[in-house]
Amino acid sequence: MNDAVLAASGIGVRFGGVRALHDVSVAVRPGEICGLIGPNGAGKTTLFDVLSGMRRPDAGRVRLAGVDVTARSPVWRARHGMRRTFQRQQLFGQLTVADNLVVAQEGGRWRRGGTARSRARAAEVLAACGLDGLAGAYPGTLPVGLARTAELARALAEPPRVLLLDEPASGMTEEERQRLAGVVRRLAAEEGCGVLLVEHDVGFVMDLCSRVVVLDLGEVLAEGSPARVRADPAVRDAYLGSTEAGVTECAPPDPR
């Protein structure tokens, strides 16, 4: 995919004897919302760690807007427009929600309070995410769904070119999920951000994404439109069979 904002090719990762990823290639275009689904342990979070630079792959390359960033740090990638959220939330607990967004914009130059510009941007993003009333709250005091929304807001503190979301809807109420879907849609449609979304709620993924990649046992099992992936017998066997029979969450909501 030549016009991809983010492309990984031939990614391999081993943890000792465990082959977590083997020859995995994925790409996301600007403005595209692409789903990444698969059973527990399929390698989704490991792939996010490779894409964001937190784990160096044993094989393969990662390109951000055509530039090979395989050897670049997570900070470098973030400064060049790649942002992510974590399956286990990673907000700074000793900072308010608003200050978490301020620090995300000012990096190592942050002083308590931040600049007027980053405070204004933080307020704007919090409002867009429906969190305007919680700017002064501390993340540890928030219910899971709101804390996850705050983490999404932090990832948007600087407008991203590509956004990686690791189970963002886990633990959210239906209303929070709808808001999340609205924010992601707007980001893709209006700002041209490419989104890669990991989520066990298959209905949520199929509604939101125009393309879905299925990982199983560290390999790409299938890829295509939601309808095509849903109909794929191999995907049904490996993953969808159990979820579509009524178990919509393979993983329990992560309380952290």
Ligand X SMILES: Nc1ncnc2c1ncn2[C@@H]1O[C@H](COP(=O)(O)OP(=O)(O)OP(=O)(O)O)[C@@H](O)[C@H]1O
Based on the shown chain and the rule CB under 6 A, indicate whether residue 45 belongs to the binding site for ligand X: yes
Of the candidates 68, 251, 255, 256, which one interacts with ligand X according to CB under 6 A?
A: 251
Based on the shown chain and the rule CB under 6 A, indicate whether residue 231 belongs to the binding site for ligand X: no
Closer to ligand X by CB, 44 or 83: give it: 44
Shortest Å distance, C-beta 45 to Mg ion? 3
The residues binding Mg ion (CB under 5 A) are: 44-45, 87
HEC secondary structure over the chain: CCCCCEEEEEEEEEECCEEEEEEEEEEECCCCEEEEECCCCCCHHHHHHHHHCCCCCCEEEEEECCEECCCCCHHHHHHCCEEECCCCCCCCCCCCHHHHHHHHHHHHHCCCCCCHHHHHHHHHHHHHCCCHHHCCCCHHHCCHHHHHHHHHHHHCCCCCCEEEEECCCCCCCHHHHHHHHHHHHHHHHHHCCEEEEECCCHHHHHHHCCEEEEEECCEEEEEECHHHHHHCHHHHHHHHHHHHCCCCCCCCCCCC
By CB under 6 A, the residues from 75 to 114 that bind ligand X are 87
Q: Which does 43 bind (CB under 5 to 8 A by kind): ligand X, Mg ion, none?
A: ligand X
Binding part of the chain for ligand X, among 14-22, 131-139, 168-176, 178-186 by CB under 6 A, reads 14-22
Whether 209 and 20 have beta carbons less than 8 Å apart is answered as no
Closer to ligand X by CB, 123 or 250: give it: 250
Of the candidates 40, 108, 116, 136, which one interacts with ligand X according to CB under 6 A?
A: 40
Shortest Å distance, C-beta 35 to ligand X? 13
Of the candidates 22, 29, 44, 177, which one interacts with ligand X according to CB under 6 A?
A: 44
Based on the shown chain and the rule CB under 6 A, indicate whether residue 205 belongs to the binding site for ligand X: no
Shortest Å distance, C-beta 51 to ligand X? 12
Based on the shown chain and the rule CB under 6 A, indicate whether residue 22 belongs to the binding site for ligand X: no
Of the candidates 5, 6, 8, 20, which one interacts with ligand X according to CB under 6 A?
A: 20
Based on the shown chain and the rule CB under 6 A, indicate whether residue 57 belongs to the binding site for ligand X: no
Closer to ligand X by CB, 36 or 122: give it: 36
- At residue 12, φ and ψ (nearest 5 deg) are -130, 135
Given phi > 0 = left and psi -120 to 50 = alpha, else beta, which region is 185?
alpha
Whether 155 and 84 have beta carbons less than 8 Å apart is answered as yes
Closer to Mg ion by CB, 19 or 80: give it: 19
Based on the shown chain and the rule CB under 6 A, indicate whether residue 149 belongs to the binding site for ligand X: no
Residues that bind ligand X (CB under 6 A): 15, 18, 20, 38, 40-46, 87, 251
